[in-house]
């Protein structure tokens, strides 16, 4: 009979393992939701999705989303993102000034590159070039957005596994 607890454990382990190893980030609130579902990650450093779910800035002035042009997002490849910026009531912000910061707080370093917004694509969309991640783990991307006399900040937290 002593074998049954073991089988229970096995069954539980199997049930857990049947899920993808990629989960939402370990980091707490404000984390990234994986929008295009979960998939088997065999890359040794990638995001399960290519986008960050829209988030409201700290003081509620803007709503910001980001979609990578590299799908899936993998380490060691410099690539671009498209940012989407709306006002709190859902109108596109077409004249935003955007500065970028971020990195790996746990490792005490920033991005290995200096990403910046290079083009206003219209309709509240902006081209963010020069994004690069050089290791798996918890990353943050902070955008400071200024428009119409208001400045506000949003920080995305996400994990590359």
Partner 1 sequence: MRGRLVAGASLALIVLAATILILTGVVDAGNVGAAVRGVFSSSAGGRGGGLLSGPEAAHSWSEAERGIIASLSLDRLPPLPPDPSNAYGDSPDAAALGHALFFDSGLSPDGTVACSTCHQPQSYFSDGKALANVRDSDTPRHTPTIVGIAYSDWFYWDGRKDSQWAQALAPQEAAIEHGGTRTAHARYVLEKFGSQYEAVFGPAPDLSDRSRFPPDAAPVEDERRLAAWEGMTEADRGAINRVFANIGKSIAAYSRRILPGRSRFDDYAAAALVNDRKRMAELFSAEEAEGLRLFIGEGQCTDCHNGPLFTNGTFHNIGLPLPEGSRFDQGRSLGTLQVVEDVFNCLGEFSDAGEEACVELRFIKLEGEELIGAFKVPGLRSVAETAPYMHNGIFPDLEAVMRHYNHAPPAFPGHSDLVPLAFTEGQSEAVIAFLLTLSAPPDAPAEFLRPPANQE
Could you say which of 16, 60, 89, 123 contacts partner 1 (CB under 8 A)? 16
Interface segment toward partner 1; rule CB under 8 A; list 52-60, 64-72, 124-132, 146-154: 124-132
Starting from the edge strand earliest in sequence, which strands make up the sheet with 116-122, in order?
51-56, 62-68, 79-87, 125-131, 116-122
Nearer to partner 1 among residue 62 and residue 139 (C-beta): 139
CB environment 4-41: b (16+ within 10 A), e (fewer)? eeeeeeeeeeeeeeeeeebeebebeebbbebeeeeeeb
Residue 41 interacting with partner 1 (CB under 8 A): yes
**Do 126 and 118 touch, CB atoms closer than 8 A?**
no
Q: How far is the CB of 11 from partner 1 (least distance, A)?
A: 4
Cα–Cα distance, 65 to 55 (Å, whole number): 6
Q: How far is the CB of 157 from partner 1 (least distance, A)?
A: 18
Tokens of 107: 């490792």
Interface segment toward partner 1; rule CB under 8 A; list 54-62, 72-80, 138-146, 149-157: 72-80
Nearer to partner 1 among residue 43 and residue 87 (C-beta): 43
* Among candidate residues 147, 79, 157, 83, the one with its CA nearest the CA of residue 120: 83
Tokens of 98: 């955007």
Q: How far is the CB of 28 from partner 1 (least distance, A)?
A: 22
Residues that bind partner 1 (CB under 8 A): 1, 4, 7-18, 21, 40-45, 75-76, 78, 107-116, 129-130, 132, 134-137, 161
């Amino acid at each position: 009979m002593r074998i049954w607890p073991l089988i229970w454990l096995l069954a539980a382990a199997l049930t857990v393992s049947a899920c993808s190893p990629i989960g939402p980030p370990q980091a707490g609130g404000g984390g990234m939701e994986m929008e295009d579902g979960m998939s088997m990650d065999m890359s040794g450093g990638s995001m399960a999705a290519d986008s960050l779910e829209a988030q409201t800035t700290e003081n509620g002035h803007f709503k910001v989303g980001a979609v990578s042009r590299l799908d899936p997002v993998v380490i060691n490849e410099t690539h671009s993102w498209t940012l989407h910026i709306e006002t709190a009531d859902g109108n596109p912000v077409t004249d935003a000034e955007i500065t970028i910061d971020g990195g790996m707080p746990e490792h005490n370093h920033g991005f290995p590159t200096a990403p910046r917004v290079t083009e206003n694509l219209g309709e509240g969309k902006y081209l963010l070039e020069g994004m690069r991640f050089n290791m798996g783990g918890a990353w943050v991307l902070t955008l400071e957005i200024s428009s119409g006399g208001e400045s506000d900040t949003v920080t995305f937290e996400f994990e590359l596994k």
